[in-house]
Amino acid sequence: MPTRAEKFAGLSVAIVTPFRDGKVDSARLKEQIDFQAEAGATCICPVGTTGESPTLTHDEHERVIAESIAAAAGRLLVMPGTGSNSTAEAVRLTKFAAKAGANAALVVGPYYNRPTQQGIYEHFKALVEAVDIPICVYNIPTRTGRNIEPETIIRLAELPGIAMLKEATGSMDQASQVLAATDLTVLSGDDSMTLPLLAVGGRGVISVVGNLVPRDMKALCDAFDAGDMKKAQALHTKLFVLCRDLLGLASNPIPIKAAMAIVGRDTGDIRLPLVPLEPPLADKLRQVLAAYGLPAKAC
């Protein structure tokens, strides 16, 4: 049975924000988007967690959204992050994204102020009443400090503008409860949980490791959809080791930016309060990448 936003099924990539000399590097941003288009990704998700959105000024946030939409040029769907712990700010950013031509908005649960479940509901209700583009609820309690309970997500699904869920709780029980009660398009927010989530009814992934190996993650999703479980399982096993060793080194996006630089796709600086990967961890990362078949490239 089709889900509410089937066109977003498959591989979406949470792209990093390239910085150079303290500024957004527009040329590198376009290169990244071209890379994803050539790999056949369904969608890009700029200015999310991986895109270091908490460190961007409002002007930079809007600029990355607009430049991403322009660079995608219809080749990929664009679902920028527009969440905030201020409902008014989330509404403003989501309106900007809609006006700029975004296909949907990825909206993280309100962070830091730890609202009640009713407060979370009212936050998303205000968004869907303000814009016409589909909203993807992003539930990542390790970042926000508050789980969006499945009962709240099921209630939100009654609102026509709520189309998707980015599931990053790590709980298959919670995902299964939502999938059993709604027709939301549920996307994995953890690369290593992609195949398990597909198996219970999920429709794809918003991937970090896709910045490096989008074709492999797309192949996993495609193999599952084609009923080739042997291939899907083999790709899951291969990707699991990379995801475990890559994303376990430091907070996202520190390791993925370091990995991109190692393989010759330098994205420039990382912004404080995040700091570059420490040399011993960078050495380990080179070993992990080489084992996967991604050797370091000479500068």
> pLDDT tens digit string along 104-162?
999 999 999 999 999 999 999 999 999 999 999 999 999 999 999 999 999 999 999 99
In a domain, 88, yes or no: yes
Confidence (pLDDT) at 78: 98
Question: Within a domain: residue 133?
Answer: yes
pLDDT the model gives residue 27: 96
The one catalytic residue in 99, 111, 125, 138 is 138
- State which residues form the domain around 224: 8-228
Judge whether 296 and 289 are in contact, CB under 8 Å.
yes
Please calculate the CA angle 44-46-50 and round it to the nearest 5 degrees. Answer: 110
State the pLDDT at residue 89.
97
Mean pLDDT over 256-281 rounds to 94
The per-residue pLDDT for 298 is 57
Lowest mean pLDDT among 46-50, 184-188, 267-271: 267-271
- 77: CATH: 3.20.20.70
Q: Looking at residue 248, what is its pLDDT?
A: 87
Q: What is the mean pLDDT of the chain?
A: 96
Is residue 250 domain-resident? no
Encode pLDDT of 196-248 as tens digits: 999 999 999 999 999 999 999 999 999 999 999 999 999 999 999 999 888 88
Q: Is 279 contained in some domain?
A: no
Q: Which residues are 228's β-sheet partners? A: none
Residue 281 has pLDDT above 60, yes or no: yes
Convert the pLDDT of each residue in 35-70 to its tens digit.
999 999 999 999 999 999 999 999 999 999 999 999
Could you give the number of structural domains in the chain?
1
Domain annotation covers residue 262: no
Report the share of the chain in percent with pLDDT over 90.
94
Assess whether pLDDT exceeds 80 at residue 1.
no
Burial of 263 (0-12, 13-18, 19+ CB in 10 A): middle
Say if 294 falls within a structural domain. no
Q: Tokens 């201020």 map to which residue?
A: 86
Q: Does residue 278 lie within any of the structural domains?
A: no
* Residue 99 designated active-site: no
Instruction: Judge whether 272 lies within some domain.
Output: no
7 labelled catalytic:
no
166, 218, 257, 292: the catalytic one is 166
pTM as predicted:
0.96
* Contact in structure between 78 and 102 (CB atoms under 8 Å): yes
